Homo-oligomer: A and B are copies of this chain.
Amino acid sequence: MGGVIEGCPAGMDFHHEVISRDMNRRRPGQSEHTSPRNEKDQVEILSGVFENKTLGTPIAFVIKNEDVKSSDYDSLKDVYRPGHADETWELKYGRRDHRGGGRSSARETTARVVGGAIAKMLLHTHGIEIIAWVSAIGNHALTGIPDSIDTDVIESNTVRCPDPQLAQKMITDIEKARQHGDSLGGYVTCICRGMSPGLGEPVFDKLPALMAHAMMSLPASRSFESDGGLDHISMMGSQGNLLQQGSSGGITTGHNYIMRVGFKPVSSIAQKQIMKTRDGNTTEMSISGRHDPCVLPRAVPIVEAMAALVVADLLLQNKMNQ
């Protein structure tokens, strides 16, 4: 994996530890609630940084994955896993690299996390902070937005839920799902604090439009809600007009902007499943390897990364209006 980040102004302090922290939060195997596969993600910065300062030129990076054994994937050569891009990829391109680690793999989110960490460094210089947390898993949902968002509380449990009691229930349900070889979906909520008014472009590139694009490009995401979302939709107009909004007409108001992203349960489960094969038949098999019964906790830094990239893009775009 790898990527190129453009637009960082020259002379910005470059903090490698911001990248490491988020790569660790994304990493499989952080706890017993997620898959213990140990990916050694080495992020190598190839350009754009000199003596820990940005040069103003594109920042290219590569993430080598030294842990993948292609042979692990040999059994998948002729089978299409449910919920994966295996079949559509082959329909689109006529061929695919059946080994893990490609662009249709969840590993592509490592590059998003690195890019997002660099964006966070830029946002930090503008006083903008982006924090996400798990707001629901299975039947357990946090109602409303906590009065104060405390990163330490969020990170204090393995499911990254700011309500420790609810977190315990989620953990129990994830364990049950694991025992049944099954999986659970849920929601990540994200807040953007400190955005000055005026970010977002009229008509097509409104803040919520870019955020929706970013979030719905994530593997397994299925829903996006902006600024009050489902609650606002079910209100009367006279009520809704009283809500504090982070964006209006797609442009930031100066208030906090909040969104919620829904993720389906992962489709790689330990149970035996019926799968389509390349020759047009079906087979019943279980996908070997260890599986996360719930990706929500690991989705938290990925959602943050995408949000940070969107806000950074709008900051750059907005420089043109000034």
Contact = CB atoms under 8 A, between A and B. Distances in A.
A94 interface: yes
A223 B222 contact: no
Interface stretch (A19-27, A51-59, A126-134): A51-59
Contacts of A50: 95, 97
Interface residues of A, number: 109
A57 B185 contact: no
Given A108-B203, A222-B232, A183 B237 contact: yes
Given A92-B251, A186-B233, A241-B269, 15 more contacts: A2-B46, A9-B321, A10-B94, A50-B97, A84-B248, A88-B197, A88-B200, A91-B253, A93-B198, A182-B236, A204-B213, A230-B262, A233-B264, A238-B271, A319-B320
25 contacts: A2-B46, A9-B322, A47-B102, A53-B95, A57-B93, A57-B102, A88-B197, A88-B248, A88-B253, A89-B249, A92-B198, A92-B318, A177-B237, A183-B236, A184-B236, A184-B237, A185-B232, A185-B237, A185-B240, A209-B213, A212-B224, A222-B233, A225-B262, A237-B266, A237-B269
